[in-house]
Amino acid sequence: MDFNDTAEEAAYRKQVRAWLDKNATRKENAKDIAPPKDLKEMIAQSKAWQAKKADAGYACITWPKEWGGGGGTTINNVIYGQEESKYAVPGGIFAIGLGMCIPTVMSWGPDEAKERFVRPAVRGDEIWCQLFSEPAGGSDVAGLRTKAEKDGDDWVINGQKVWTSGAHFCDYGILLTRTDPNVPKHKGLTMFWIDMKDPAVEVRPIKQMSGGAEFNEVFFTNLRVKDSQRLGKVGDGWKVALTTLMNERLAVGGSQGNADTDELISLARNTDIAGEPAIRHGGVRERIADWYVQAQGLKFTRFRTLTALSKGETPGPESSISKIVAAKKMQDLGSFGMDLQDMGGVIRDRKISPEEGAYTEQWIGAAGYRIAGGTDEILRNIVAERVLGLPQDIRVDKDLPFNQAPKGK
């Protein structure tokens, strides 16, 4: 793959830069990345930016225009992402919907569902969440217990999900359920899309140590969904879920809008250590250099995945590598940025601390990213088994019917 722009790509990059200069503000430091504290304001700003991008053809650039996308190439998408990352723009609330849920609907949903949901999602009119994790399952998604039982033309769903990002403001979600407990755990699953505003869906935000409440518990009590809301065949839910999970690791492994080396270099230039800018200290430069190398590795690994996508291939298990590296880098870089500011690193008062505690929030928030989309341990297993071809862990319940597998109390 040639990483230099062709004449056509250079023209597209120039066009993107001109549009971003006109419609957004360049970010200068970590605090420029932080979203508004007020949830309604954050959602309103994100929706307005997404609609503006859609109107200009920069939302879901590789998706067909008839679905509301930009009709562009994978390289167009890469170029836009590179340029947009330099600006303080909102939009993280759509990452799960557009990165995981809608691609799953497009791959497995009936035509009516595609017609109904894809375009509004692209414009940011509707927000989606992914309902996979459960309290008893941890990172073992296939161990889920939320059950869906057939009743005439409907399914009746009861159970609980947890760690569902954005469920408290989402309009729709994709839900993985158990429809047959008499077969091994990976074979008795079925996926549906659901209306998150249904009265049978109860969302309880989980208060985080950062002060935010981005994750939720979600309870289903006799939730009725039509069979037409099914994604894929009955019992094929694990196959459908893999489409979501592969896209999830690709999305989570990319930029989360956190401070990176550019922001850290800016901080080091404007922070003193023993009377001189921190950037002049060899130890500081060495740490920044390490993260710069990691960032470049992530970028080129992502290019490799995007190359596969451009050939019509589904993201593979190698996407897990990016997520493992990116989440730890996010946490370590946040910790270092906080240390550089001494006590000012944990203060949110702009008069005392110009960064307003942005690195502290990143350090705290990174703990969640190391769990989201699969813990570090689960992803290392995936890399070991499915990328490197090493022997599998012992799984005593793999071939047992789910209702006969040993379970905790």
Distance CA 25, CA 105 (A): 34
* Angle CA 170–171–176, to nearest 5: 80
Q: Say which of 84, 214, 248, 355 is annotated catalytic.
A: 248
- Which of 69, 169, 72 shows the shortest CA–CA distance to 119? 69
Phi, psi angle pair for 11, to nearest 5°: -65, -40
Distance CA 296, CA 3 (A): 12
The alpha carbon of 271 is separated from its chain's Cα centroid by a whole number of angstroms, namely 32
The answer to whether residue 377 is catalytic is: no
Phi, psi angle pair for 174, to nearest 5°: -105, 135
User: What SS3 class is residue 394?
Assistant: coil
Task: Give strand ranges (E) for 207-256.
Answer: 215-226, 230-231
In eight-state DSSP terms, residue 5 is P
CA distances from 79 to 9, 40, 58, 278, 322 (A): 8, 30, 11, 32, 19
Distance CA 247, CA 324 (A): 15
Match 């990002």 to its residue by tokens. Answer: 165
- Which of 192, 198, 164, 163 shows the shortest CA–CA distance to 176? 192
Element (H, E) at 244: helix 237-252
Distance CA 143, CA 407 (A): 10
Q: Which residues are catalytic?
A: 248
